[in-house]
């Protein structure tokens, strides 16, 4: 496991949320997946990735979030986001992508964090493996916006254990984080 991985997991989870408004749905599951990106293209620019995570909200919106290894911007994050994910096979999850969330140092900030630019897209993410067994071997995502900009991710697991957490809202309104059971 990489040094500072737990701290980075907390940071990316905070950066993954679309916004912090009181009426936004809560995240109910969060997974950090150690591995590497063999392909990461953002609107014609190739990047390496620092981390890949998945989170899903209580309303069902699912998100594959990628922290880019961008020497010019340490808050450069993209998210492939969609509804109505499905599992046609036990070890295959498909998510139709209808928007990209784009965060960078140049975006306005809320509570000190970049607010994403939301770009409407059409595309698909496919995840091989599942969180119940804590084994995800690969993720591939591809999306195109209305201006023809393409976003592409190909991720492969490095075999290290992944970290999966359920997040539950307590009565007082604070969140409790627990290992995935």
At 72-84, the pLDDT tens digits run: 998 899 999 999 9
**Residue 154 near residue 39, CB atoms below 8 Å:** yes
pLDDT at position 179, please? 52
Round to whole Å and give the CA distance between 87 and 142. Answer: 18
Q: How confident is the prediction for the chain on average, in pLDDT?
A: 83
What pLDDT sits at residue 169? 58
Domains (range + CATH), the chain: 5-15+26-179 (2.40.160)
Going through 23-134 in order, the beta strands assigned E by DSSP cover: 27-33, 35-42, 45-46, 48-57, 62-69, 77-82, 86-89, 92-103, 109-110, 113-114, 117-130
pLDDT at residue 5, rounded to an integer: 44
Q: How many CB atoms lie within 10 A of CB 167?
A: 17
Q: pTM (2 decimals)?
A: 0.81
């Amino acid at each position: 496991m990489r040094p500072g991985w737990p701290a980075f997991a907390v940071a990316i989870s905070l950066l993954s949320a679309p916004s912090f408004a009181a009426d936004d749905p809560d995240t109910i599951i969060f997974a950090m997946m150690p591995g590497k990106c063999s392909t990461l293209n953002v609107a014609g620019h190739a990047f390496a990735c620092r981390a890949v995570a998945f989170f899903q909200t209580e309303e069902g919106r699912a998100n594959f979030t990628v922290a880019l290894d961008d020497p010019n911007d340490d808050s450069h994050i993209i998210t492939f986001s969609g509804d109505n994910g499905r599992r046609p096979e036990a070890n295959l999850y498909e998510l139709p992508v209808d928007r990209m969330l784009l965060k960078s140092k140049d975006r306005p900030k809320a509570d000190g964090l970049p607010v994403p630019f939301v770009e409407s897209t059409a595309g698909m993410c496919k995840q091989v493996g599942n969180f119940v067994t804590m084994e995800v071997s690969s993720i591939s995502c591809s999306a195109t916006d209305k201006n023809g900009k393409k976003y592409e991710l190909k991720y492969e697991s490095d075999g290290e254990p992944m970290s999966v957490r359920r997040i539950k809202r307590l009565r007082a309104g604070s969140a409790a984080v627990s290992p995935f059971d």
